[in-house]
Amino acid sequence: MSYLVGQWGTGAVGRRTLRALIEHPDLELAGVVSDDPRLVGLDAAEVAGTGRRLGVPVTGDPAGLLARRPAVVCHTGGPARELCRALEAGAGVVSNALPALVDPPSADQALVRRLRAACATGGAACLTLGPGLVGDVLPLLLSGACRRIDGIKATEFPRVDGPGAAARFGLGEPIGRRPPIMRPGAPARTWGPVVRLLARHLDVPLDDLAETYELCAAPEAIDGPGGPIAKGAVAGLRCQVSGVLRRRPVITVEHVVRARADLAPHWPAPPPGEAGGYRVEIAGEPPARMDLAGPGGADAVAPRMVNAVPAVAGAPPGLHTPLTLPPFTGRRLLR
């Protein structure tokens, strides 16, 4: 079955999502919306980097896209009113723009009511995805093989592939300066909903969320992935958001970043031979651990959004999570 799909947003995730949409054998591109005036008028294939022209120009006005009545819109950036506009027009939405909606019961309830009303008006489904399946589906699947669970930790080892990512993690900054990604409250807003989602499905009544981080200083001047890093400057970051129960962290989402693989050897490391990847650990009886190599970041988020399209297109109206929908698979991608 073929689905007519739109792309709303052309940032780092949006461009990758657009490419995955164009290359998917079961999806037809309805249109592309961008708030970047430099891209308006360009062919979608040029923006996605796929080469062959499609005859679908990028526009700054979503009216044309929504007039084509796409089954689903992949929304990768922008405010809630954009989600509402798509939903009210009858298009299902797969989004990563509002992390709080990863776990709707813990999100701002005024926002939840607004989006549910939009879903009802258009008869459409809305799914918000978090950082990746390692943060939601895999920990829960592994937990099903346990007799007792003492704690769960999901770790991502992001690949730092340029100055922008390096600056986000604070690489190269003075060791006493808080990295931008660790501004007070920011980690809990980004990853806290994933922690709460896991807790909800494991029936764990969390008392609170806690944010922690550690920095690693460069032992000498090094050539980092985002540029030179002076001796003593930040060369690594380990940050955690934990769900706390009776003063004990029981569900943790963790990110570990290094400018060089040999730094901070006491921190968790990615799978052997890999620059990035994931790890899921369950302390309990029996314990479990799964290491997964993979690109992480936008390269992991984009195809998951695209592969969720059939599930969202067929879902009942309302707000959904990956745990209320059929599994997202790479159906028809093996060829």
Whether the model clears a pTM of 0.95, i.e. scores above it, the answer is no
**Model pLDDT, residue 51:** 78
**Average pLDDT of the segment spanning 44-61:** 93
Q: What pLDDT band is residue 249 in, cutting at 50, 70 and 90?
A: very high
Q: Is the pLDDT of residue 133 over 80?
A: no
Q: What pLDDT band is residue 1 in, cutting at 50, 70 and 90?
A: confident
**Model pLDDT, residue 148:** 97
Instruction: Using alpha carbons, select from 233, 308, 331 the residue that is nearest to residue 76.
Output: 308
**Average pLDDT of the segment spanning 278-302:** 90
In our burial notation (b when 16+ CB lie closer than 10 A, e otherwise), range 12-33 reads bbbbbbbbbbbebeebbbbbbb
Q: What pLDDT band is residue 97 in, cutting at 50, 70 and 90?
A: very high
**Model pLDDT, residue 52:** 82
C-alpha span between 143 and 150 (Å, rounded): 11
Q: Any bridge partners for residue 241, and if so which?
A: 211, 253
C-alpha span between 258 and 133 (Å, rounded): 22
C-alpha span between 165 and 210 (Å, rounded): 24
Q: Is the pLDDT of residue 153 over 90?
A: yes
Cβ atoms within 10 Å, residue 313: 19
C-alpha span between 198 and 322 (Å, rounded): 11
Residue carrying the six token digits 């699947």:
141
Whole-angstrom CA distances from 300 to 212, 235, 306, 313 are 25, 24, 11, 21
Mean pLDDT for the chain overall: 94
C-alpha span between 268 and 237 (Å, rounded): 11
- pLDDT digit string, tens, across residues 155-205: 999 888 778 888 889 999 999 899 999 999 999 999 999 999 999 999 999
- pLDDT digit string, tens, across residues 194-216: 999 999 999 999 999 999 999 99
Q: What pLDDT band is residue 145 in, cutting at 50, 70 and 90?
A: very high
**Model pLDDT, residue 132:** 67
Q: Is the pLDDT of residue 290 over 70?
A: yes
Q: What pLDDT band is residue 273 in, cutting at 50, 70 and 90?
A: confident
- Which runs of consecutive H residues, i.e. helices, occur in the chain? 12-23, 44-48, 63-67, 80-88, 109-122, 137-143, 163-168, 186-201, 297-307, 309-313
**Average pLDDT of the segment spanning 215-239:** 94
**Average pLDDT of the segment spanning 231-253:** 97
Portion of the chain with pLDDT greater than 70, in percent: 99
C-alpha span between 8 and 170 (Å, rounded): 29
Portion of the chain with pLDDT greater than 90, in percent: 84
**Model pLDDT, residue 297:** 75
**Cβ-based burial of 146 (10 A; exposed 0-12, middle 13-18, buried ≥19):** middle
Q: Is the pLDDT of residue 102 over 90?
A: yes
Instruction: Using alpha carbons, select from 16, 38, 19 the residue that is nearest to residue 29.
Output: 19
